[in-house]
Amino acid sequence: MIKYLGSKRRLLDEITAVSCAVPGASTAVDLFSGTARVGHALKHAGFAVQANDYAAYAHVLATCYVQADAERWTHEAEALLAELQAVSPAPGYVTRTFCEEARYFTPENGARIDAMREAITARALPPELEAIALTSLLEAADRVDSTTGVQMAYLKQWAPRAHKPLTLRLPALLPRAAGGRSAAHHLDALKAAAALTGHIAYLDPPYNQHSYLGNYHVWETIVRWDTPEAYGVARKRRDTRARASIFNSRPRHADAFRRVVETIDARVLIVSFSNEGWLSRDTLLEMLAPRGEVLVLDHDYKRYVGAQIGIHNRRGERVGAVSHLRNTESLYVAGSAVDVDAVRRTKQ
Ligand SMILES: C[S@@+](CC[C@H](N)C(=O)[O-])C[C@H]1O[C@@H](n2cnc3c(N)ncnc32)[C@H](O)[C@@H]1O
């Protein structure tokens, strides 16, 4: 899966274990799905999952990893990816914008992305098959990018991986879960909180001002394929600002998250939050208290590579050090239906 700030790769086992400790639970909502890896893990554990995210690329990832069932699509997807891999490179928008005006990929790989993306559009595929092809393309592009993991800037020297030829792989599709059919949604979280229900709701909102649409604008453009006007060194989409999320606004974040917590119809809420985020532990505990008992599971991590490297000026000179190098990610599990002893056992 793609490199993604805030991805819950390291918490998957625990989120799954907590979800499985809710007696009788077979359905789950992932309201801010991002890479879709949490929804994928829950589907793998047998849950029917409703995944949601407001970014178009995240909706595609969730359509592939959560909604599409392996038994329906594997055969056709393998044949399609083989055809796409054989398409002749042809430079276009990606090559011009992200390889010549910027340096996210080598022009050779840019021309492959352009040609494959055009070929996907030309085939007018059913949505789930198209999402599988686009996911494969994003992941292939991610494996040969020349960034530190966000698309706000690119490396001055090509990353060694950037010189490898872009190669499509079949994403890890899952069979339909015992809990039933899963689905991907493309809604603002406040709307999704009112519309989607599950025995469990997993909430992993942005926790500061950094916009996911800004950090991953290249994926948004490859998925939307709308040749947007780009600006600045990073060649970001102009509409990134107009589509700003309420969860990236300091004055509005707490109220928006409180509304989600109050609205969503679920027996148990599992909330991911970092000690670097805008909501303090006391605030989160107060918001979640009406839901029943709240259990907090803490995880201590090194901060991401950008923070390890330090703060640099435009000439690449180090001008400062970051204030701290570790952060704590916490899972807040709220709801009287949780088998707390079973959750505690997962920690041992
Ligand atoms: C911390 S990330 C989720 C990461 C995800 N759990 C994973 O493991 O990959 C937060 C997600 O919230 C999404 N998001 C931000 N604002 C949103 C909004 N208003 N409605 C729905 N999704 C939103 C972002 O696109 C981003 O993917």
pLDDT tens for each residue of 313-343: 566 666 666 666 668 899 999 997 677 666 6
Ligand 1 proximal residues by C-beta, below 6 Å:
4, 6-8, 32, 34-35, 37-38, 53-55, 58, 188-189, 204-206, 212, 245-247
What is the number of the ligand 1 atom nearest to the C-alpha of 34? 27
Q: What is the pLDDT of residue 178?
A: 97
**pLDDT at residue 309 in the model:** 59
Atom of ligand 1 nearest to the CA of 58: 27
Best CA proximity match to 304, nearest among 233, 199, 225, 210: 210
Q: Which atom of ligand 1 sits closest to the CA of residue 4?
A: 9
pLDDT of residue 174: 98
Q: Which of 32, 196, 200, 240 gets mutated to test ligand 1 (max ligand atoms within 8 A of its CB)? A: 32
Task: Report CA(36)–ligand 1 centroid distance (Å).
Answer: 10
Q: How far is the CA of 59 from the centre of ligand 1 (A)?
A: 10
Distance 226 CA to ligand 1 centre (A): 22
Distance between CA atoms of residues 61 and 126, nearest Å:
15
Cα–ligand 1 centroid distance for 277 (angstroms): 14
Dist. CA 108 → ligand 1 center (Å): 31
Closest residue by Cα to residue 165 from 87, 220, 58: 87
What would the pLDDT profile of 51-66 be if each residue is shown by its tens digit?
999 999 999 999 999 9
Distance 39 CA to ligand 1 centre (A): 13
- Cβ-proximal residues to 342 (8 Å cutoff; 6+ apart), any chain: 17, 20, 21
User: How far is it, in rounded angstroms, from Cα 235 to Cα 257?
Assistant: 31
Which pLDDT tens digit goes with each residue over 16-37?
999 999 999 999 999 999 999 9
DSSP 165: P
Nearest CA-CA partner of 103 in 165, 162, 164, 166: 162
Separation between Cα atoms, residue 242 and residue 170, nearest integer Å = 34
How confident is the model at residue 311, as a pLDDT?
57
Q: What is the pLDDT of residue 308?
A: 57
CA atoms within 13 A on the CB side of 34: 21
pLDDT attached to residue 344:
64
Please, what sign has the CA dihedral across residues 250, 255, 261, 263?
Answer: negative
What is the predicted pLDDT for the residue at 300?
80
Mean pLDDT by 10 residues, the chain (348 residues): 87 95 97 98 98 98 98 98 98 98 98 98 98 98 95 94 98 98 98 98 94 96 97 93 92 97 97 93 95 91 60 62 73 82 64
Residue 189 Cα, ligand 1 centroid: separation in angstroms? 9
Q: Whole-prediction pTM value?
A: 0.93
Q: How far apart are CA 106 and CA 141, in angstroms?
A: 10
Ligand 1 mutation pick, 4, 29, 52, 54, max ligand atoms within 8 A of CB: 54
* Closest atom of ligand 1 relative to the 188 alpha carbon: 20
* Cα–ligand 1 centroid distance for 287 (angstroms): 20
Residue 115 CA: distances (Å) to CA of 100, 111, 132, 319, 332: 16, 6, 17, 42, 45
**Contact criterion met (CB below 8 Å) for 296 and 332:** yes
The two most distant CA atoms of the chain are separated, in Å, by: 58
